[in-house]
């Protein structure tokens, strides 16, 4: 098998966590999520879950360094991480995916998940993404994280069921 790992990157509510979990279950590969890491850390430390993924630069570096170490691992991993594809951009043994969705779709998904209005969802998405991208630019001195050249495949998830995306990924990884 050419690929040892799969990374899923994308904006908030693009579907990356859903697809990553399905891949983990179908392939039986190990799973790691930076979002889950930050949420669990925030909960344990009594910090805001709203900006859980954006707590501080040191924690961001720790999480990204851990992802980089997993990408060198011999075991198979499905990795759900904003920068997973970027961190693996020069690794041929990693199948790098970017999941995208239109803003309206992401707002709807977020509002349904969080039980809030579309207006509040839009505000929270924009604030979180702006904050995180600003921090990542400062840490990595680039804003080239989501350039399609870093990814093997880009999926528009608005009208594609996660199961269809997963089947396409599995075909590509196992070919």
Per-10-residue mean pLDDT of the chain, 175 residues long, equals 93 96 98 87 73 67 90 94 94 97 98 96 93 88 93 97 98 92
Give CA–CA dist 57/77, Å, rounded: 25
Per-residue confidence (pLDDT) for residue 175, from 0 to 100: 84
Per-residue confidence (pLDDT) for residue 38, from 0 to 100: 79
0.85 surpassed by pTM: yes
**Structural domains in the chain plus CATH codes:** 14-161 (3.40.50.300)
Helix (H, G, I), strand (E, B) or coil at 132: helix
Q: Residue with structure tokens 């209005």?
A: 117
Per-residue confidence (pLDDT) for residue 150, from 0 to 100: 96
- Please, what sign has the CA dihedral across residues 134, 135, 138, 140? negative
Residue 141 DSSP class: S
Query: Among candidates 97, 67, 96, 86, which has minimal Cα distance to 142?
Result: 86
Tokens of 129: 């993404």
């Amino acid at each position: 098998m050419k690929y040892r790992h799969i990374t899923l990157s994308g904006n908030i509510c693009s579907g990356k966590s859903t697809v990553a979990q399905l891949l983990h279950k179908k392939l039986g590969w190990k799973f790691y999520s930076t979002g889950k890491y930050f949420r669990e850390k925030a909960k344990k430390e009594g910090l805001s879950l709203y900006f859980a993924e954006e707590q501080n630069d040191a924690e961001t570096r720790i999480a990204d360094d851990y992802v980089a170490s997993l990408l060198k691992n011999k075991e198979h991993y499905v990795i759900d991480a904003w920068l997973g594809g970027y961190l693996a951009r020069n690794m041929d043994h990693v199948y790098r995916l970017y999941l995208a969705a239109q803003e309206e779709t992401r707002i709807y998904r977020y509002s349904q998940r969080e039980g809030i209005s579309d207006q509040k969802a839009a505000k929270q998405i924009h604030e979180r993404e702006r904050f995180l991208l600003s921090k990542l630019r400062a840490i990595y001195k680039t804003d080239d994280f989501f350039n399609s050249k870093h990814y093997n495949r880009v999926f528009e998830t608005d009208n594609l069921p996660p199961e269809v995306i997963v089947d396409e990924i599995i075909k590509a990884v196992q070919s």
